[in-house]
Amino acid sequence: MKYLMDTDWIINWLKGKAAVVEKIKGFREAGIGISIVSVCEIYDGIYGSDHPDKNEERFNYFLTGVTVVELTERICRKFGQLRNDLRKRGKPKSEFDLLIATTALINDLELLTDNVKHYERIDGLKIGPSSGRYKTTEA
C-alpha cells in the first residue's frame, strides 16, 4: 500500500465526481488505504443523508477496493505528540484530520487530499497529487 486517501476524496468518489473516480482508478494498483477515522466521517454523512441505505450500499462497494487502516497505540502516541506540538505553536488542528495525518506518517503513506491547508503544518507528511477535481497545476 502506497497511499492513504483523505475523506474528501472518498466523498467526491461517492458523489461520482469524474476527476476523482478516474484518479482513484489509477492509484488502486499501487494500493490505497483509508483511515478508520475516515470511515467514521463517512458514516456520519451517510446517516445524515436523505438516502442512507443507498449511500451505505455505495460506500460498501467503495470499501471493496481499499484497505481500512485501524488506529494503533503507535498512531495514538504520535497523535498526542503532534497535537501538543501544534497547540504549543498556536496552530491547533482538527483531531480527525490529525489522526488521518498521523496514520499516514506512521505507515509511511502519501496522503491523497485536496484539503492541503488542513495538513501543511505537519512536518514529514507526504501529500500526493490533487484529485484534479479543482483546477491546479499539480500532476
pLDDT digits (tens, 9 = 90+) for 88-110: 988 877 899 999 999 999 999 99
Per-residue pLDDT tens over the stretch 103-129: 999 999 999 999 898 898 898 999 988
To which H or E segment does residue 4 belong? strand 3-5
pTM score, whole prediction: 0.89
Annotation: CATH topology of 3-119:
Rossmann fold (3.40.50)
The cell for 72 is: 494503533
Per-residue pLDDT tens over the stretch 44-71: 999 999 999 999 999 999 999 899 999 9
At 131 the pLDDT is 66
Instruction: Tell me how far apart the alpha carbons of residues 88 and 84 are, in angstroms, rounded to a whole number.
Output: 6
DSSP state of 127: B
- Tell me, rounded to whole angstroms, the distance of Cα 59 from its chain centroid: 14
SS3 state at 128: coil
- Tell me, rounded to whole angstroms, the distance of Cα 113 from its chain centroid: 6
Any idea where the domains of the chain sit in the sequence?
Answer: 3-119
